[in-house]
């Protein structure tokens, strides 16, 4: 049982940290910061998904910004576009019956019919599923970095398509996306009255996804993905269908990005083309790298923190450049991410002061105790 | 009554024909060794059987079912497991996790079941762990279960790789130079282990350069030279086969006992031009060649 408690501890700490941050901000009268934190948490979901595909399955995706945008735009278009012209048809009636189409008033008081946010969410997931499968299937049957190339090209296509299509609001993006009533009295909305609630909705969503992915990683599927990452040939020889597993991990990760996009769009009430840009995709990769790639906690923490700082305007007009610098620094100085070496360093510092004997670690394989006291 | 049947298999790389119309069969419950000088096509043959390479022509049949053109994972699922010349462990994982990967084909929960820990998944996970531990114990490395695989010695890596291959419950085990890089004691242990594996009902097909081990261990031996089979039979027949002798020693016929000695030590009695010696990494080939 204590084993299970130990596994639960980080999740409890994460929940505690969420609460602590909210209380601190309330006490200091800076609760408005929660809005940017909420947005950062949604971005963190994209990076967590990327962590699965990069850190575990060992495939690089440079198109996660595009998947985020596909999720956001699909739900934005469906929840703002007026479907009243087809409202009279039989299938529209059926959709209304199923609460997938809803009638409401637009900004100018005209009656319009749009898809309900839940219907739009499901549609966004479906669209992402299909597109990610189409991109991933040919690229992942091969060994090597074909996915990176395919997703890079794909991201550019999505960006330019969004920019050039009136339906997607071209350079202006889509505004006026309605709030999303999730059920259980929860609403995804940018209204300041719902700020705290939305912060916890985002935090809970991240927490649930972390639990699910942790389960996945500590299972036969997780081991298979790591095996593919380490040695694809040996993984195949163990009976793992490498192409299928890489594809499933990629699609799952794309779905997470799209899900984040849907929530983000309802939260901010709109989405713009910059979400689909290559800058965003590279930023997600940089964030995953800064969190240590294969560490769910590191990735969640670093991603939330850095995105929050970016939202607070800390990096000024060098925003995208900063993430480029982060990526270069990590790749050249700390390929495993800064957290692990930092932790070892802190551990050594603390260990030297508090104990008489020092634990020396060689490559993490043999641990020998070297007594410092001379006989 | 054959487990594996290889028929007229041919494979070339550019102009080089590595395997040229090789046909043989492996009977269940036997240890069969494939020997031959470097470049004879042994590893190519192994890679074709295990699906890493496609044959240009010919068929491979396993349990009367064609596995020609199967992908590696399909071949593994059919019941053939293999080890590699250089132990290829998953270094990011612990020793136990490595062996647990071997249980992949004997378990079936997929993404959704694993994410949500659906009923039955934790139980399956436990049984994977237990089976993997049992295999580690079988090769005598249970005490290293929690160790990172990257920290093992070469010999231990080989054993973990063997345990991982065994964890798939194979009917046929392909071992690619299992003794290379091992010291004498490790080789003896390996020989005993391979025999135990056979006695447990697993058929073994191995490529090996260490003649002491091969002669001692094998029920049947297949000799490849320049991509073709030049001899096949029991260790005793092989040792007295004139073709084998001329391939290995480069000379004409010699009395069997002298040949056996030469094969065992890797020595080359005469230095006829074009003569080839089986290069074993641990037996004193170098010395023999210098002399």
| DSSP letters for B104-137 | GGG----HHHHHHT-TTHHHHHHHHHHHHHHHHH
Contacts with A61 (C-beta within 8 Å, 6 or more apart), sequence order: A50, A53, A54, A147, A148, A151, A250, A253, A254, A281, A285
Q: Which residue has the tokens 């390929």?
A: A335
Any idea what DSSP says for residue A55?
A: I
- Residue A369 CB: number of other CB atoms within 10 A? 9
Q: Write down the pLDDT at residue A226.
A: 94
Q: Write down the pLDDT at residue B251.
A: 56
| Cβ neighbours of A295 in B, within 8 Å | none
Q: Write down the pLDDT at residue B268.
A: 53
B187, B256, B121, B151: which is closest to A361 by C-alpha?
B151
Instruction: Check residues A267 and B261 and name the one with the higher pLDDT.
Output: A267
**Smallest Cβ distance to B105: which of A215, A239, A294?**
A239
The answer to whether residue B174 neighbours chain A at the CB level (below 8 Å) is no
Alpha-carbon distance values, B64 to A335, B6, B78 (Å): 49, 11, 11
CB A339 within 8 A of CB A295: yes
- Residue B30 CB: number of other CB atoms within 10 A? 14
Interface test with A, best of B104, B113, B164 (most A CBs within 10 A): B104
The answer to whether residue B13 neighbours chain A at the CB level (below 8 Å) is no
The answer to whether residue B52 neighbours chain A at the CB level (below 8 Å) is yes
Burial class (CB in 10 A: 0-12, 13-18, 19+), B160: buried
Instruction: Check residues A363 and A120 and name the one with the higher pLDDT.
Output: A120
Alpha-carbon distance values, A143 to A147, A232, B46 (Å): 9, 8, 21
Domain range annotation of chain A? 32-332, 338-375
| Cβ neighbours of B151 in A, within 8 Å | 363-366
| Cβ neighbours of B95 in A, within 8 Å | none
The answer to whether residue B125 neighbours chain A at the CB level (below 8 Å) is yes
A9, A1, A11, A2: which is closest to A209 by C-alpha?
A11
In whole angstroms, what is the distance from residue B33 CA to residue B30 CA? Answer: 10
- Shortest alpha-carbon distance between residue A3 and chain B (Å): 14
In whole angstroms, what is the distance from residue A337 CA to residue A22 CA? Answer: 28
CA–centroid distance for B287 within its chain:
27
| Nearest residue on chain A to B166, alpha-carbon basis | A238
| Cβ neighbours of A224 in B, within 8 Å | 101, 104
The dihedral sign for the CA sequence B146, B151, B152, B157: positive
Contact B90 A233 (CB under 8 A): no
The answer to whether residue B208 neighbours chain A at the CB level (below 8 Å) is no
Contact B109 A364 (CB under 8 A): no
**Smallest Cβ distance to A230: which of B90, B114, B117?**
B90
Residue B181 reports pLDDT greater than 90: no
Instruction: Check residues A112 and B282 and name the one with the higher pLDDT.
Output: A112
| Cβ neighbours of B109 in A, within 8 Å | 219-221
Contact A226 B128 (CB under 8 A): no
Q: Write down the pLDDT at residue A324.
A: 86
Contacts with A316 (C-beta within 8 Å, 6 or more apart), sequence order: none
B155, B266, B254: which is closest to B209 by C-alpha?
B266
Name B24's bridge partners. Answer: B6
- Shortest alpha-carbon distance between residue A167 and chain B (Å): 35
Q: Give me A279's structure tokens.
A: 């800058």
Q: Which of A165-179, A189-203, A295-309, A349-363 is the least confident region? A: A349-363
- Shortest alpha-carbon distance between residue B72 and chain A (Å): 5
**Smallest Cβ distance to B93: which of A226, A233, A248?**
A226
Q: What are phi and psi for residue A370, nearest 5 degrees?
A: -110, 110
Average pLDDT value for chain B = 86
Contact B164 A222 (CB under 8 A): no
| Cβ neighbours of A214 in B, within 8 Å | none
Q: Which residue has the tokens 């350079």?
A: A171
Q: What is the pLDDT of residues B18-31, one digit of tens each?
A: 999 999 999 999 99
Q: Give me B172's structure tokens.
A: 């046929």
Q: What are phi and psi for residue A360, nearest 5 degrees?
A: -105, 135
**E strand or H helix that includes residue A183:** strand A180-183
Interface test with A, best of B85, B90, B169 (most A CBs within 10 A): B90
Q: Write down the pLDDT at residue B289.
A: 39
Q: Write down the pLDDT at residue B288.
A: 37
Residue A260 reports pLDDT greater than 90: yes
Average pLDDT value for chain A = 85
Mean pLDDT, residues B26-45 taken together: 92
Alpha-carbon distance values, A174 to A43, A180, A232, A324 (Å): 19, 16, 43, 28
Q: What are phi and psi for residue B33, nearest 5 degrees?
A: -110, 140
| Nearest residue on chain A to B71, alpha-carbon basis | A236
Q: Write down the pLDDT at residue B285.
A: 40
CA angle centred on B180, ends B178 and B184, rounded to 5°: 100
Contact A252 B111 (CB under 8 A): yes
Q: Write down the pLDDT at residue B254.
A: 56
CB B288 within 8 A of CB B266: yes
A234, A245, A243, A142: which is closest to B52 by C-alpha?
A234
**Smallest Cβ distance to B150: which of A226, A234, A363?**
A363
A224, A360, A288, A262: which is closest to A44 by C-alpha?
A288
Contact A366 B151 (CB under 8 A): yes
Residue A367 reports pLDDT greater than 50: no
Q: What is the pLDDT of residues B56-90, one digit of tens each?
A: 999 999 999 999 999 999 999 999 999 998 889 99
| Nearest residue on chain B to A215, alpha-carbon basis | B115
- Shortest alpha-carbon distance between residue B238 and chain A (Å): 31
The dihedral sign for the CA sequence B187, B189, B191, B193: negative
The answer to whether residue B134 neighbours chain A at the CB level (below 8 Å) is no
Contact A241 B97 (CB under 8 A): no
| Cβ neighbours of B164 in A, within 8 Å | 238
Rounded to the nearest 10°, the torsion over CA A94, A97, A98, A99 is 120
Q: What are phi and psi for residue A359, nearest 5 degrees?
A: -100, 120
pLDDT category, B38, cuts 50, 70, 90?
A: confident
Q: What are phi and psi for residue B202, nearest 5 degrees?
A: -95, 125
Residue B141 reports pLDDT greater than 60: yes
Helix or strand or coil: residue A366? strand
- Shortest alpha-carbon distance between residue B89 and chain A (Å): 8
Size of interface A-B (CB pairs under 8 A): 112
Q: Write down the pLDDT at residue A70.
A: 96
Mean pLDDT, residues A249-273 taken together: 95
pLDDT category, B279, cuts 50, 70, 90?
A: very low
CB A188 within 8 A of CB A179: yes
Mean pLDDT, residues A53-66 taken together: 91
**Smallest Cβ distance to A363: which of B121, B151, B168?**
B151
pLDDT category, B220, cuts 50, 70, 90?
A: very high
Q: Which residue has the tokens 């007229």?
A: B8
**E strand or H helix that includes residue B18:** strand B16-26
- Shortest alpha-carbon distance between residue A185 and chain B (Å): 25
Interface test with A, best of B48, B50, B114, B116 (most A CBs within 10 A): B114
Percentage of residues in chain B having pLDDT higher than 70: 85
The answer to whether residue B129 neighbours chain A at the CB level (below 8 Å) is no
Q: What is the pLDDT of residues A298-354, one digit of tens each?
A: 889 889 999 888 888 888 888 888 888 888 888 888 777 777 778 788 878 777 655
Domain range annotation of chain B? 90-169, 233-290
Interface test with A, best of B92, B107, B125, B162 (most A CBs within 10 A): B92
Q: Give me A344's structure tokens.
A: 């070892």
Residue B223 reports pLDDT greater than 90: yes
Instruction: Check residues A144 and A31 and name the one with the higher pLDDT.
Output: A31
């Amino acid at each position: 049982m204590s084993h299970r408690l130990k596994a639960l501890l980080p999740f409890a700490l994460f929940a505690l940290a969420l609460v602590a941050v909210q209380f601190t901000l309330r006490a200091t009268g800076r609760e408005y910061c929660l809005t940017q934190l909420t947005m950062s948490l949604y971005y963190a979901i994209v990076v967590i998904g990327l962590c699965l595909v990069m850190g575990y399955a060992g495939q690089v995706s440079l198109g996660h910004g595009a998947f985020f945008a596909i999720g956001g735009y699909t739900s934005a278009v469906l929840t703002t576009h007026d479907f009243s012209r087809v409202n009279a048809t039989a299938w529209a009636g059926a959709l209304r019956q199923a609460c997938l189409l809803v009638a409401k008033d637009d900004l100018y008081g005209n009656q319009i019919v749009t898809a309900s946010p839940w219907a739009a969410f499901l549609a966004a997931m479906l669209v992402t599923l299909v597109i990610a499968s189409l991109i991933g299937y040919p690229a992942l049957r091969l060994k090597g970095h074909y996915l990176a190339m395919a997703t890079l090209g794909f991201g550019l296509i999505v960006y330019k398509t969004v920019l050039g299509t009136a339906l997607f609001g071209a350079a202006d993006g889509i505004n006026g996306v309605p709030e999303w009533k999730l059920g259980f009295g929860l609403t995804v909305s940018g209204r300041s009255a719902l700020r705290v609630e939305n912060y916890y909705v985002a935090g809970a969503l991240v927490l649930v996804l972390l639990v699910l992915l942790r389960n996945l990683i500590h299972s036969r599927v997780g081991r298979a993905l790591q095996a593919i990452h380490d040695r694809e040939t040996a993984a195949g020889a163990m009976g793992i269908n490498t192409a299928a597993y890489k594809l499933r991990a990629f699609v799952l990760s794309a779905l997470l990005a799209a899900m984040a996009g849907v929530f983000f769009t309802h939260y901010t009430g709109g989405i713009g083309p910059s979400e689909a840009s290559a800058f965003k995709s590279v930023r997600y990769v940089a964030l995953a790298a800064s969190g240590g790639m294969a560490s769910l906690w590191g990735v969640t923490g670093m991603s939330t923190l850095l995105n929050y700082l970016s939202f607070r305007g800390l990096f000024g007009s060098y925003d995208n450049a900063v993430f480029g610098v982060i990526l270069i620094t990590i790749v050249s100085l700390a390929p495993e991410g800064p957290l692990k070496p930092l932790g070892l360093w802190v551990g050594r510092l603390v260990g030297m002061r508090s104990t008489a004997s020092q634990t020396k670690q060689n490559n993490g394989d043999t641990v020998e105790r070297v007594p410092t006291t001379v006989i | 009554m054959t487990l594996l049947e290889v028929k007229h298999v041919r494979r070339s790389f550019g102009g080089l024909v590595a395997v040229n119309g090789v046909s043989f069969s492996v009977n269940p419950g036997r240890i069969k060794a494939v020997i031959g000088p470097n470049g004879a096509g042994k590893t190519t043959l192994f890679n074709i059987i295990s699906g890493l390479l496609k044959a240009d022509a010919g068929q491979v049949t396993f349990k009367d079912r064609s596995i020609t053109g199967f992908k590696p994972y399909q071949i593994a699922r059919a019941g053939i497991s293999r080890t590699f010349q250089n132990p290829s462990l998953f270094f990011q994982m612990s020793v136990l996790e490595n062996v647990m990967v071997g249980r992949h084909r004997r378990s079936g929960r997929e993404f959704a079941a694993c994410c949500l820990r659906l009923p039955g998944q934790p139980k399956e996970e436990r049984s994977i762990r237990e089976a993997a531990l049992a295999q580690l114990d079988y090769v005598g490395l249970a005490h290293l279960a929690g160790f990172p695989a990257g920290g093992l010695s070469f010999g231990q890596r080989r054993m973990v790789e063997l345990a991982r291959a065994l964890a798939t419950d194979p009917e046929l085990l392909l071992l690619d130079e299992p003794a290379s890089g091992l010291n004498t004691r490790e080789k003896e242990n390996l020989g005993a282990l391979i025999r135990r594996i056979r006695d447990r009902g697993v058929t073994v097909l191995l490529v090996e350069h260490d003649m002491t081990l091969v002669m001692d261990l094998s029920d049947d031996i297949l000799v490849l030279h320049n991509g073709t089979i030049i001899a096949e039979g029991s260790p005793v027949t092989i040792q007295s086969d004139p073709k084998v002798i001329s391939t290995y020693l480069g000379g004409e016929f010699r009395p069997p006992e002298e040949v056996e000695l030469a094969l065992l030590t890797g020595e080359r009695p005469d230095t006829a031009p074009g003569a080839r010696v089986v290069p074993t990494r641990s037996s004193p080939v170098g010395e023999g060649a210098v002399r």
